[in-house]
Amino acid sequence: MLGFLSFIPRAVGQGIPLLFGCTGEIVTEKSGNLNLGIPGVMYVGAISGVIGSFFYENKVGENGMNGFLAIMIPLFCSLLGSFLMGLLYSFLTVTLRANQNVTGLAMTTFGVGFGNFFGGSLIKLSNLDVPTIALSKTSAYFSATLPIADKTGWFGKLFLSYGFLAYLGIISALVVAYILKKTRVGLHLRAVGESPTTADAAGIDVTKYKYVSTIAGCMIAGLGGLYYVMDYASGIWSNDAFGDRGWLAIALVIFTIWKADIGILASVLFGGLYILYLYIPTGMAHMELKELYKMIPYVVTLIVLIITSMRNRREDQPPASLGLNYFREDR
């Protein structure tokens, strides 16, 4: 029981960045845009928040920090960074009709490079006399939990021990699921993703829907990066620490068969699989087995991908125009 109690919060902590990335990518893919730039966007979201809070912390000093600003500045910077990435992707693929796979991969190259470059060079570029980027003060605001979390025993530990971004992630997944399933906007968005020609004929502004959903998706995904660095990593940036979580988020989209509400549980499951190797006793003699356990999330995704394509159920399929650009005069 004790192991379980410590396992779940850590699985959730690992799962939340995936949840943000997955929710964002679902919104994007529903419009027919396969954004393989999500890993890059999440790096940019993370580093933008770090840059914002780094300058704020060093400007006002540790004591002069205002809790509201300490949260809002990184949050705003992060959203701005991923907004710009989303805008770039939309401009290239929707307006200029560039190949989506290529644009996405270029965005990932750029975004990961951007994150690691500023993560590694921020101190030198800003000429500030600090040893490392450790935003522990800001992080304390981000990971602050409700005061009752400690007093409610196992319940508090399982459900209340997370920073506000974690709850924001769950809420955003629920909101996205609701919008996609129940509202007219969601219906239009799905129509755009399934068949832009039909949607266009029905008077839906395809370009607008693609732009808005891709940018919104990127902004949601960027928050995943922010959560990771500010809450999970306690405000300490280290290069490449975010790793391949962005790709895992894209895998999660397939795993959840494009349903944002399933994403909540699935991301916790993936988060759990991601750290499962820490909890499986292997003994010192067989450390190599841990590496095989780390393979599990990818193998599971692969199997789900194959099974959904084998069963070929119509409601489990990707949006029909996924990866294809819409040009009205094409036939």
Partner 1 sequence: MKTKVREPKFHLVKRDDLSRYQRVLIRLLSIVLALILCATITAITTGINPFEVFGSIVSGAFGTARKTWITLQDLSVLLLIALALTPAFTMKFWNIGGEGQVLVGGLATAACMICFEQKLPSAVIILLSVIAAPLAGALWGFIPAICKAKWNTNETLMTLMMNYIATQLVSYFIIIWEVPKGSGKIGIINQNSHAGWMPQVFGSKYMLCILVALITMVFLYFYIGYSKHGYEIQVVGESENTARYVGIKVGKVIVRTMLLSGALCGIAGMLLVGSINHTITTTIAGGQGFTGVLVAWMAKFNPFTMVLSAFLIVFMDRGAGEIATQFGLNQSYADILTGIILFFIIGCEFFINYRIKRAEKHENKEGSSC
From 128-136, 145-153, 219-227, 242-250, give the range in contact with partner 1 by CB under 8 A. Answer: 242-250
From 13-21, 136-144, 228-236, 244-252, give the range in contact with partner 1 by CB under 8 A. Answer: 244-252
92 near partner 1, judged by CB under 8 A: yes
237 near partner 1, judged by CB under 8 A: no
In the complex with partner 1, which residue's Cβ is closer, 96 or 171? 96
Considering only 8, 11, 36, 176, the residue that binds partner 1 (CB under 8 A) is 36
The helix (H) or strand (E) run that includes residue 30 is: helix 2-30
What is the DSSP code string of 231-283? IITTTB--TT-STTHHHHHHHHHHHTTT-HHHHHHHHHHHHHHHHGGGTS---
In the complex with partner 1, which residue's Cβ is closer, 162 or 255? 255
Distance CA 267, CA 249 (A): 8
In the complex with partner 1, which residue's Cβ is closer, 168 or 296? 296
What is the DSSP code string of 83-148? HHHHHHHHIIIIIS---HHHHHHHHHHHHHHHHHHHHHHHHHHHT---SS-B-HHHHHHHT---GG
Here the tokens at position 173 are 């997944």
What x-and-dash track marks residues 106-145 binding partner 1 by CB under 8 A?
xxxxxxxxxxxx-xxx--xx--------------------
Here the tokens at position 292 are 């095989």
In the complex with partner 1, which residue's Cβ is closer, 8 or 112? 112
Residue among 69, 81, 109, 60 nearest 218 (CA): 81
**Could you list the residues that contact partner 1 (CB under 8 A)?**
34, 36, 88, 92, 95-99, 101-103, 105-117, 119-121, 124-125, 239, 244, 247, 250-251, 254, 287-292, 294-295, 298-299, 301-302, 305-306, 309-310, 312, 318, 323, 327, 329-330
